[in-house]
Structure 1
């Protein structure tokens, strides 16, 4: 079973999140029409399509509404344009109070709710969010689907095994029986009676097992804190059209667990909080007051900095003037006397005396030798 990540921030209790895929290329047009109808019917208070630069990779829509009478909900939906098999969307909503699963689903505040709408596909598996998804007949395909489901951190994936072939009453989707806020976060996988072995073989790598005729809620990645597979496995699910109370309870308990934000969730939550553009008149005034206060502080800091700079410049000019005055008051420097030859040392004087004596003796000897030479001649 995947373990929860300790490095990711935990999803705040006020936040609802979902990610899906719109099958087609007209998601923006669908959203514009749906949001206009929802505002006209006063289901939502207001909405905004955030202006985007030409060629931007995504479109952003914001909406605001109230729940429980006075609790304001702000939601931001982003639609990407670069998906080859549809348009992927990410939706985060945050309320002014901890989220109550009985509140309306934020997805219903953006998308149309017709059964054949194209927006309600799970982003990880491509399967429907509001319907039953039979597992494929091929064993390798089953393993691939369940691997993708087990690695998804956005939707809640439930695997239900049919103990026997069901009739029309047993084909009622679980999503419609859940509290409203969970209906667009659930992906229901149905295994045929003969598929129990291959399903449990595919889930073995995640330390999960589906009871015969029962169901299990997959943990996703990262797994919520406190998730234990046995606590979210249901031994029997009666697929006769009646409400599967035990399974609904398991899904509701799972949704209430504290869990890390999924991949991309932290960035989406930051954008919701910091890039919010759909403001009320009161919020606009408050923001303008904040901007005025910020500009006043900046101007005061600049003025103070300018005054300090001017004071420092004046002090520098005064110091320079004082230096010049003191330099002019100094007397003219006298020319330096030429350097005199240093007196000879006593040893040098004695050496020179000996040299003079030696020269005198040599002269005398030469004078004495000259008469003797002339007599011989």
Structure 2
């Protein structure tokens, strides 16, 4: 691309910070940079028309892990690590709410529920046996117990008569959350510039500056911050693998009484109400290899499993129509802990959010901004 003098001087000249990725993490990083460096020249690069990845494609769960997810994590991580992860997610949710306000987020504190199929009696019994231990472990984080059994009052089919409620979980409007973040980033006396449709191809840390090559032009910045999560492997962060999440939403269902957020099968399935609609996602565990991809799209295997779940469990005997389908790309790895680290003297990354971007994106972005001055 041939650039004019005006384009160079207005967008690309004498940059202090360049953030790659305009999702929750990238925008939160830029906001923290603006707070700590009020006069700095800050640019955000976004390869998509919308934030490409998961930030505008997620289910809008303000959650920090169902009981079965936490128990699974305790099989692979220490109690200290799991407590720290849950604490980070909880603090991230509170930071997001404080920064944008519940009204802008359309935040609803309706609680989160874990559902158990009729064949999951052993799993439910284990949850009941371990519930006090987990509540005690996490009580310092929340100041109260967070899990308790409640009657299954939603009319779900082929499920056990009790659910496990987490009253601290909520839901929000993903699109309005991102609009509010973008408005905050681009407002004020020193707005942060965002260039959409610009993909980072490669970078070189030159010592005093970082040379950046994109699909349209080259430029330099003093510090480079990578917030590309599921696409971080393309930029030399090998500990991150992409994970596609397929989602669908129904047309409005008259008289729908389901309200809240819901989890099944250690979080591999999740659904919620969006007004009178049901949003449902998951099924990645049916094809782990196939869903380890940076390609957006749907597959018959997973879409059929989601529709079967609607018919047999969520809406038994209730007619529905699918209104829309989409997918998002998350960043996962062998550990649940996000990677927030320096890649070189002038380059840092905040990636591998493990499907918890709504919860931890704000916190990870703030940490990432802190590395820019380190």
Relative to the length of structure 1, the TM-score reads 0.23
Q: Which structure is larger by alpha-carbon Rg, 1 or 2?
A: 1
Structure with bigger helix share is 1
Q: Higher relative contact order at CA 8 Å, sep ≥6: structure 1 or structure 2?
A: 2
Q: Which has the higher strand share?
A: 2
